[in-house]
Amino acid sequence: MNYSPKWSEYEHFESIHELDSAHVSRVAAPADRLPEEVLVFIFKILIEPRSTSIGPLLLVSHYWHYVAVTTPSIWSRIHSRPHSLEEVRKDTTYFQIAAKNSAGLPLDVTIDLQNLDYWGKKGIPTAVSHEDQRDDADVVLSGLIKAFVGDNRTNIARLRSISLNDAYQNELSFMSSERAIGRLLKELDCPAPLLESLSLHLYSIEPYFFRRRSLHDLKALKHFTFDAGGHLNYIRFIPETIQTLSFRLLGTTQVLSQFIGLRTLSIANWTSLGLSDEADPEVIFPLLECLTLRLCHPSGMRFRTALLPHKIRAPSLNTLRLLDAEAITAVGIAEAYHHVHTLDLLSPQSQVIIGFIKRHLYKYAALVNLTVFPGNLNVVKDEGLALTGLNFVYTIISDKEGMAVDASIELPLWKPASDYIYKKHAIYSGQ
């Protein structure tokens, strides 16, 4: 028998829009004639941005409520993007309901804390001590984690994907929720037979992984994103099973070479002194299809990162994404990627792109698609791309959440190209 919570349990869910009683009475009768499969499709579209927004939809009519609570797939993707601890508490209730209504389906969980006002009211001092505030926040966040993990880890076996973001947008601040995040990672340190995707965005991995075995039973893991500072070899999973790897961690080519099944690799080598040295052997990825590189350190310090593109061999590579000037320059010198079909030159520095186009682009005989920032489009067109046999030129317009992209935006390494909306430009005369 499906769990069917009382309507009052949904009253705190975030509204998609205001639903007053008059509006409900007008739409209820016609809407109740919709076939169930159509109504379910509508539900899924409306709650895609934020799953907790399902609340007001359940209050339209008994028919809508019945269809929702008896359709497990509506509840199997659970998201929390709170701005306050009060919203965390509300999302905790939603997580509990969703875990029950999902009726045993695999769970996809997203917890995004980057906009959470951790200390309350934008850091305004209160009568409560700083330590008490921190303790209260950790208790609240631990409750959110427990809500989807379940008592005695009952839901661990159902987890299919987890995305956790515990870093501010500038990625340089630290949110003091170590105990709550540590609890989650400890819960995952057990068999999770369905967990295929794990995405962790942390300031540093040391509080959670230093000198302990971690994530060693994630035998089904295929997609792993670790946007954090620390050492790659702290994390002990099975590298041969990983198909997608994204990281900005200290490591070595020896560690990297273990990931022989990779199809997608993203490296932000911004703190990785020693990742590649002249004496290091080449790293061969026979199945690799997409490679993303960012080689600049934010502080301006120069490491030996330019050697990395020389070390990677990927005969099946078809997409190369270069996110800064250093990566564009290093790849041009490496001359190891002329077989790619898609090239993204995503540095805002026009002169670097001009230099690459003049010196190297003609060598990319298989190139079909090229993407640049909007501000660089005319630069690209003016440099005689007819010689390359290029078919399409694209510029990035925005991400799928509506954030406009221009030359002032630094694209996150861990976001795949499919997360953005592109504009295809007509081929100019002379092609």
CA separation for the pair 406, 348 (Å, rounded)? 8
Which one is predicted more confidently, 327 or 297? 327
**62 and 69 in contact (C-beta within 8 Å)?**
no
pLDDT value at residue 317? 97
Q: Distance between CA atoms of 80 and 144, rounded to whole angstroms?
A: 9
H/E stretch holding 202 reads: strand 197-204
Instruction: Please state, in angstroms and rounded to a whole number, the distance separating the CA atoms of residues 182 and 228.
Output: 14
- Kindly list the distances between the CA atom of residue 107 and the CA atoms of 81, 139, 194, in Å, as whole numbers in the listed order: 17, 23, 9
Question: Average pLDDT of 405-417?
Answer: 81
Distance between CA atoms of residues 209 and 33, nearest Å: 54
| Cβ–Cβ < 8 Å for 77, 102 | no
Residue 198 pairs with which residues in a beta bridge?
162, 224
Kindly report the pTM of this predicted structure.
Answer: 0.80
pLDDT level of residue 271 (50, 70, 90 thresholds): low
Structure tokens belonging to residue 91: 């999302």
Whole-angstrom distance, CA of residue 413 vs CA of residue 252: 19
Mean per-residue pLDDT, 366-394: 79
Judge contact between 336 and 360, C-beta under 8 A.
no
Q: Which residue has the tokens 């002169």?
A: 351
Summarize pLDDT for 282-294 with one digit per residue, the tens: 889 999 999 999 8
Are the C-beta atoms of residues 204 and 172 closer than 8 Å to each other?
Answer: no
Give the pair of three-digit tokens for residue 71: 């359709």
pLDDT band at 127; cut points 50, 70, 90: very low
Say what the pLDDT of residue 270 is: 53
Q: What are phi and psi of 319, to 5 degrees?
A: -130, 130
Is 61 in contact with 93 (CB distance < 8 Å)? no
Say if residue 60's pLDDT is above 50: yes
- What residues does each domain of the chain span? 32-118+133-376
Residue 338 pLDDT grade (very low, low, confident, very high; cuts 50, 70, 90): very high
pLDDT score, position 374: 82
Sign of the four-CA dihedral 268, 78, 157, 210: positive
- Distance (Å, whole) CA 385 – CA 92: 54
Q: In the prediction, which pLDDT does 107 show?
A: 93
Six token digits for residue 51: 């799953």
The pLDDT of 147-172, averaged and rounded, is 79
Q: Is residue 325 within 8 Å of 352, Cβ to Cβ? A: yes
Residue 63 CA to residue 59 CA, distance in Å, equals 10
Contact between 321 and 292 under an 8 Å Cβ cutoff? The reply is yes
Q: What is the pLDDT of residues 92-125, one digit of tens each?
A: 988 988 988 898 899 999 988 877 776 555 444 4
Looking at residue 18, its pLDDT comes to 44
Give the gyration radius of the chain's Cα atoms: 24
Q: Can you tell me the distance from the alpha carbon of 5 to that of 342, in angstroms, rounded to the nearest whole number?
A: 50
Give the integer Cα–Cα distance in Å for 216 and 191: 9
Distance CA 28, CA 17 (A): 16
The pLDDT of residue 168 is 56
β partners of residue 162: 109, 198
Q: In sequence order, what are the residues at sequence separation of 6 or more whose Cβ sits closer than 8 angstroms to the Cβ of residue 89?
A: 140, 143
What DSSP state is assigned to residue 157?
A: G
Query: Mean pLDDT highest for which of 48-52, 121-125, 402-406?
Result: 402-406
| pLDDT for 251 beyond 80 | no
